[in-house]
Amino acid sequence: MPRAKYHLITLGCQMNKSDSERVATVLDRMGMEETGSEDDADLILINSCSVRQTAEDRIFGKMRDFGRMKEKNPKLIIGVTGCLPGRDRDGVIRAKMPQADLYFPIKDLPQLPRWMAELNPEFANEGDIEDDYLAVKPRYANEKQTYVSIQTGCNKFCTYCVVPFSRGLEKNRPAADVLNEIRERARNGAVEITLLGQTVNAYLASDRATGFSKENPYKDDFAALLWEVNQIPGIERIHYTAPHPRHMTDEVIDALTLPKHVNYLHLPVQAGNDEVLRRMNRRYTCAEFLEVIRKVRAKSPTIGIGTDIIVGFCGESEGQFEDTVAMYKAADFDIAYTAMYSPRSGTAAYKAFKDDVPRLEKKRRWMKLQGLMEDTVLRKNQSYVGREVEVLVDSWDHGVASGQSREMKLTRFNSAEDLRGATVRVRVTKAFEWMLSSELVSVVRR
């Protein structure tokens, strides 16, 4: 009898990608197999993002398509998990998706086999599933580069953000569990680890007394975790996302200099005006943020620094936006991911503030920051011409290999050989806004 098939659609951030690896484990244990085709699937499951309205609209469009598929195949099961169900406390969003047979926040993943069996007894399964979804071992999508979740949820309650509602309050994994997962991945060939958390550097280890080595020099739990990962043989690169400026302690900043840490830090600022930051409930001032940047560059002068920025937040005046432009120049970011503010039902901003910046004005502000970023990225990238950088190759197609440098710069070079998974040294020959063109110097490790 052929095995039932599932098709998994992942939207949003790296945390969702990591969660989908856990979803795949649960479905694999049920005896199902993954298919890349929606038409061949017995189950289509969307791991949803709810950060902006455009992400939700995409899901609604998908559900209409899947509804037509269900008319042709009544046995087809359609499910939605992730952030959208997590924040839908009153069922208003659920009511817009009558096509969905399953609708659950990701924390309820362990219940999926039971729900599937209730929908179709053919899916009945006696296998054990962990009570805590974070304890489910992911089915890793990439053997060389691995996402490792150390935390889920958030206690910050930024007024624009749905995460505390979609994922709940902050919950940290024990250090021993995290380190055991990374050791296992290293034994299976992983060389790059990305630690994930909503405010990842706020990490607190419930097992600090036993989870960390006596030789560990750090008192800050997150810095201590980074030190421990640095001791694991086989791991060559470590980075993390997304930290919060308030938790960039001196020890966390010092840990950026550990030998295996990539030469890059992504630190969201969101706005460059103190009053806007106050309305966002970010809990730091522009001066405090810039002081963190100063300390980081004092420790790591060549580090690349990226950020996230929201333009057009409630009440943001033209002058307040220009403060953000000035902040960008002062921080001299290597890259920024800029978003136009999108109201999210259930958040404090949705309840307390008016979305009063017109969309065309948001777009204009976005374009101005985008132009500044592109000029800055090109200037910074041009400084790499003639230099050698180390690249972890993650793709190869028609004789062109590419991967990220330790500064998280996309780098490409010609290679007759498929070097995916190899660490190489290349010499940069040309620089563009989004890519460094280079030539292969040597293969460091295969």
**pLDDT on residue 127:** 61
Kindly indicate the confidence band of residue 121, based on its pLDDT and cuts at 50, 70 and 90.
confident
Kindly indicate the confidence band of residue 122, based on its pLDDT and cuts at 50, 70 and 90.
confident
**pLDDT on residue 9:** 95
pLDDT surpassing 70 at residue 318: yes
- Please report the DSSP string for 101-123 in residue order: SEE--GGGGGGHHHHHHHH-GGG
* Maximum CA extent, the chain: 67
**Mean pLDDT of the 96-125 span:** 90
**pLDDT on residue 128:** 65
**pLDDT on residue 446:** 85
- The DSSP 8-state label assigned to residue 385 in this structure reads T
User: Residue 9's beta-bridge partner residues?
Assistant: 46
pLDDT surpassing 80 at residue 130: no
Could you give the CA distance from residue 69 to residue 78 in angstroms, rounded to a whole number? 10
pLDDT surpassing 70 at residue 222: yes
**Mean pLDDT of the 295-299 span:** 98
**Mean pLDDT of the 233-251 span:** 97
**Mean pLDDT of the 220-242 span:** 97
pLDDT surpassing 90 at residue 268: yes
Tokens representing 242? 């997304």
**Mean pLDDT of the 411-417 span:** 97
Q: Which of 91-100, 258-267, 296-305, 364-373 has the lowest mean pLDDT?
A: 91-100
pLDDT surpassing 90 at residue 134: no
**pLDDT on residue 88:** 86
Domains with residue ranges and CATH for the chain: 5-133 (3.40.50.12160), 142-262 (3.30.750.210), 294-382 (3.30.750.200), 388-445 (2.40.50.140)
Contact indicator for 138, 21 with CB cutoff of 8 Å = yes
- Give pLDDT tens digits for 172-199: 999 999 999 999 999 999 999 999 999 9
Q: What residues contact residue 15 under an 8 Å CB cut-off, 6+ apart?
A: 147, 149, 152, 196, 197, 198
Could you give the CA distance from residue 83 to residue 167 in angstroms, rounded to a whole number? 7
Of 116-130, 159-173, 294-308, which has the strongest mean pLDDT?
A: 294-308
pLDDT surpassing 70 at residue 126: no
User: Residue 393's beta-bridge partner residues?
Assistant: 403
**pLDDT on residue 3:** 87
Contact indicator for 36, 7 with CB cutoff of 8 Å = yes
Q: Which of 30-34, 304-308, 437-441 has the lowest mean pLDDT?
A: 30-34
pLDDT surpassing 80 at residue 125: no
In which order are the strands placed within the sheet that holds 5-10? 33-34, 5-10, 43-48, 77-82, 102-103
Other Cβ atoms within 10 Å of 40 Cβ, number: 10
**pLDDT on residue 86:** 85
User: Residue 326's beta-bridge partner residues?
Assistant: none
The crossing angle, in degrees rounded to 10, of helices 318-331 and 286-299 is 10
Kindly report the pTM of this predicted structure: 0.92
- The DSSP 8-state label assigned to residue 270 in this structure reads B
**pLDDT on residue 97:** 92
pLDDT surpassing 80 at residue 129: no
Q: What residues contact residue 386 under an 8 Å CB cut-off, 6+ apart?
A: 427, 428
List helix spans (H) across 123-266: 163-166, 175-187, 208-211, 221-230, 250-255
**pLDDT on residue 89:** 82
Average predicted confidence (pLDDT) for the chain: 94
**pLDDT on residue 90:** 85
Who has greater pLDDT, 277 or 130?
A: 277
State how far Cα 67 lies from the chain centre.
30
